[in-house]
């Protein structure tokens, strides 16, 4: 009797499972209709993505992608952005009115239900590797393009990619050219001037464990373009940095990147060991909002300018 019951339970659960597995392929929500031509795109991770020719509903899963979309004039097609997207002003207004919805953040996870409910034609994401949620989007039949700009040329490429996807190739060309000009202008200004040593503090809340930006980050690249040298430039990624080494190298300039969440120079200026550093004695320490330095988007030139004015203020006095 007991055995029979067990067998029944086993069968029952098998049936439930089978029934649940039947609808494995849901009706696709975003495959292109027959009247439009579809476009095949290769994203920054070599994924081939097929989308409707001109997407009418776009979701951006990264602030940098959002900025690119708006810069190219695709802002009116955007229906969803992340919790952290905050630029441009037009975006903020549209979020307030509810025209654009927030879909979450990478941590603890984008809300897939909301994303599906917005019925996007394409989703832009970023990641050094393909994020897990992109595989989820694949499962759901939503085209997801993953951007991964590792340097300024990468940003230009991504701008062109977004332009291609959204039918704004011309606008993309113009934007890339303008950005290139802006950057060249700044680089020209600082060439020929002595290079200054810079320390960039990502997080200096714990004096024993400083976090900085090393080789491979945009910050590192921008410092170099801005006529400086990153003293942590021989380290990779986002390494820790020793306070002793900081004293040893005694950089000309210190930039703290946490102004957005309340970091100010006052935090370190009067601290022991710090107060003896040249950068502090010469008042060459700054706390900045680093958004434009870390987002691989159209404001990268602004970020470069910001850094350049900090490193070589005398060249930008106008």
Partner 1 sequence: MFARLRQNRRLLILLALGALLLLCMLIAVSLGAVSISPLNIIKMVLDKTGLFHFTATWQPSDETILFLIRLPRVVAGALVGAALASAGVLFQGMLRNPMADPYIIGTSAGAAFGATIAMMLPVSVAFLSFGLVPIAAFFGALGAVLLVYNLAKVGGKTPIVSMLLAGFAVSAMLTAVVFLMVTLSGRQGFLQNVYSFLMGSISVTGWTQIALIAPLIIGGIIAARFLAFRLNALSLGEEGAAYLGIDVEREKILILALGSLLTAAAVSISGLVGFVGLVVPHAVRLVLGPDHRLLLPAAALSGGAFLVLADLFARTVLAPSEIPIGILTAIIGAPFFIYLLRHTRREYAF
Which residues would be at the binding site for partner 1 (CB under 8 A)? 1-2, 5-6, 9-10, 13-14, 17, 19-24, 26-29, 45, 83, 102-109, 111-114, 116-117, 119, 128-130, 132, 135-136, 138-141, 214, 236-240
Q: To which H or E segment does residue 146 belong? A: strand 144-147
Q: Decide: 162 and 146 in contact? Cβ < 8 Å.
A: no
| Cβ 63 to partner 1 shortest distance, Å | 14
Nearer residue to partner 1 within complex by CB, 139 or 185: 139
* Cβ-based nearer residue to partner 1, 23 or 192: 23
Please report how close the Cβ of residue 143 comes to partner 1 at its closest, in angstroms.
14
In angstroms, give the least distance from the CB of 262 to partner 1.
20
Give one word for 82, left, alpha or beta, with left for phi > 0 and alpha for psi -120 to 50. beta
What is the spatial distance between Cα 163 and Cα 176, in angstroms, rounded to a whole number? 11
Query: Of the two residues 240 and 265, which places its CB atom closer to partner 1 in the complex?
Result: 240
Angle CA 278–300–105, to nearest 5: 100
Between CA 100 and CA 81 the distance in angstroms is 7
| For partner 1, the closer CB: 135 or 281 | 135
Instruction: Give whichever of 3 and 89 is closer to partner 1, judged by the CB atom.
Output: 3
Q: Least separation, in Å, of the C-beta of 21 and partner 1?
A: 6
Q: For residue 220, give both structure tokens.
A: 């590192």
Which helix (H) or strand (E) segment holds residue 99: the answer is none
**Least distance from C-beta 96 to partner 1, angstroms?**
17
Output 193 or 209, the one with its CB closest to partner 1.
209
Residue 102 makes CB contacts below 8 A (sequence gap 6+) with: 80, 81, 82, 83, 85, 95
- Cβ–Cβ under 8 Å, residues 235 and 215: yes
Q: Compute the least distance from the CB of residue 102 to partner 1, in Å.
A: 7
């Amino acid at each position: 009797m007991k055995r029979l019951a067990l067998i029944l339970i086993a069968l029952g659960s098998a049936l439930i499972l089978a029934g649940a597995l039947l609808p494995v392929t849901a009706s696709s929500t975003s495959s292109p209709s027959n009247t439009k031509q579809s476009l095949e795109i290769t994203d920054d991770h070599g994924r081939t993505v097929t989308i409707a020719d001109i997407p009418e509903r776009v979701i951006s899963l990264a602030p940098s992608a959002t900025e690119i979309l708006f810069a190219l004039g695709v802002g009116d097609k955007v229906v969803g952005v992340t919790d952290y997207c905050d630029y441009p002003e037009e975006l903020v207004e549209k979020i307030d009115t509810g025209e654009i919805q927030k879909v979450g953040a990478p941590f603890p996870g984008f809300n897939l239900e909301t994303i599906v409910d917005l019925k996007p034609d394409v989703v832009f994401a970023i990641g050094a590797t393909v994020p897990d949620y992109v595989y989820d989007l694949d499962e759901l039949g939503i085209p997801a393009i993953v951007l991964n700009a590792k340097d300024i040329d990468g940003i230009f490429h991504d701008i062109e990619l977004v332009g291609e996807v959204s039918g704004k190739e011309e606008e993309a060309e113009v934007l890339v050219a303008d950005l290139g000009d802006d950057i060249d202008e700044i680089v020209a200004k600082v060439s020929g001037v002595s290079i200054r040593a810079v320390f960039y503090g990502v997080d200096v809340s714990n004096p024993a464990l400083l976090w900085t930006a090393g080789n491979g980050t945009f910050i590192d690249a921008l410092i170099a373009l801005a006529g400086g040298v990153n003293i942590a430039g021989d380290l990779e990624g986002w390494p820790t940095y020793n306070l002793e080494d900081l004293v040893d190298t005694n950089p000309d300039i210190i930039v703290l990147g946490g102004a957005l969440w309340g970091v100010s120079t006052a935090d370190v200026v009067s601290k022991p060991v710090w107060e003896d550093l040249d950068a502090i004695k010469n008042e060459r320490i700054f706390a900045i909002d680093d958004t434009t330095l870390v987002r691989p988007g159209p404001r990268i030139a602004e970020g470069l300018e910001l850094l350049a004015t900090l490193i070589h203020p005398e060249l930008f006095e106008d």
